[in-house]
Structure 1
Amino acid sequence: MASNPQNLLFDIDLEELEAVKQMLGGTEKEFRQAYNRALSRTAVTLNMLGRRLLRDELQARNMKAIRKRLQKFRLRKSGKALDELRLWFGLNDMPISKLKGRVRRLGTKKSPLGAEFKPSSSSLSSQVYSDSFVARLGKRKSIFTRKGQARYPVREETIPINDAIHVKIEDEIFDQIPEIFLKHFITDLKGRIAQR
């Protein structure tokens, strides 16, 4: 299964943050501490929003399958440079058993034609898998294909995640990053100034 990660990078207007620091009367040390704390809190907020969006769009059965698809990386810089945040959204194919939808066998037992998966999500399209069969994986049905001529081993089929979800992540989450970061930054800086 090939990975198809999407990295989202964003710029923070340091001049705007400097203006907020001047307006509130913060020190350089408080500025750096508030910046780093706001970066961490922004990462947590974006992770939560991303998980929720992916769960709803993909109609995932549980959050465990979604958590692995969202990662955040803190890039530490040396010297006077400020830290950065990078988000990673894994949009590689998902196993059928992880998604809500209907699995059905095509053809008859004597002349099977494969299987079909109709996802509950409108973001995903139905898929037909030829030379596949329907079987239970735990409590859930899924679609499997034999790897060779023998009965075993088998592999579970996957469904591709389309680009519409990547666009939705950019439109609904990426556009909010400056507001989320600024809100966390101002809140933290005000708190540090009040504790003096």
Structure 2
Amino acid sequence: MARERVLHGNAVIDIDVDELVKLAAGFDVPRKTIHKAWGVALKKAAITLRRRSLNEFKEVAAPRSMAMVSRRIMPPFIFRKSGFGLDEIKLWFGLNRVKVKDLKGRITGKEPPRHSLRDPNTGRFIAASERAGSWSLAFNSAGELGTQTYDNAWRSKDRKNILSRNASGRLVAAAVPLYDKIHVRIEDNVIADAEELVLKYFTHELQWRLKSGMWKGDLT
């Protein structure tokens, strides 16, 4: 069976260069100071954007471990482009399905009964998953992923996961889709305010360098 396609989201934050030039023109400092302030502003913004993305992911998915979330929200990339300089940030976040065992929530529903029936031909116990019957389990997310239902499934031995067999008979762990929920939240609550955040950091950095006299070291 082919491996499930990995879903991910990319969010490119374009900064209005004309707005930057106009903003920088209001500070009587060397061009070198402006570029330094811009570089620091982008780095600070990148850290803030990642932290906000992690918080959104945590709120929606309710993961058992933040380590899993950290692997999915990569540190933002900062691209150098022509003209003013650093004028683009790119966020990458993995949105492929997450196993039930990695999320907080409750598993409810009817499981296949335990039994001691043997196959008349082989003498082996017949797996409950292979017996005729109708049952299903549901995972109720502690976050905002709602309820997912899995037919002909049963709990794992540790009771934290839901297992079933795919079309080829292979045992697989149930997973919960993330793409729609997470992508929309990050777009609305993180990316929408990103440019404003960068410009705010840029302004504060220029003000600090001007007030502290740090800009004088850039005259040489």
TM-based fold match above 0.5: yes
Query: Equivalences for 1:67-106 in 2 at 5 Å?
Result: 67-71=70-74, 72-77=76-81, 80=83, 82-83=85-86, 84-106=88-110
Contact 2:111 2:154 in 1 (8 A): no
User: Which stretch of the first structure deviates more once superposed, 128-137 or 29-38?
Assistant: 128-137
Distance 1:14 1:81, change over 3 A: closer
Contact 1:61 1:98 in 2 (8 A): yes
Alignment equivalent of 2:60, drawn from 44, 57, 61? 57
Runs of 4+ in 1 over 3 A off after TM superposition: 146-149
> How big is the shift at 1:183?
1.4
- Show CA shifts across 1:144-183 (max 9, x none): 234665xxx7432111115233222111111211221011
Query: Which secondary structure state, in structure 2, belongs to the residue aligned with residue 117 of structure 1?
Result: strand
Contact 2:109 2:138 in 1 (8 A): yes
Report whether the alignment pairs 1:45 with 2:35.
no
Which structure has the highest strand share of the two?
1
Aligned to 1:135: 156
Report the TM-score when normalising by structure 2.
0.76
Aligned to 2:175: 158
CA distance in 2, matches of 1:18, 1:66: 37
Equivalent residue letter for 1:120 = A
Contact 2:96 2:179 in 1 (8 A): no
Any unmatched runs of 5+ in structure 2? 115-132
Aligned to 1:171: 188
> How big is the shift at 1:130?
2.2
Report the TM-score when normalising by structure 1.
0.84
Any unmatched runs of 5+ in structure 1? none
Seq. identity, %: 28
User: Which has more radius of gyration?
Assistant: 2
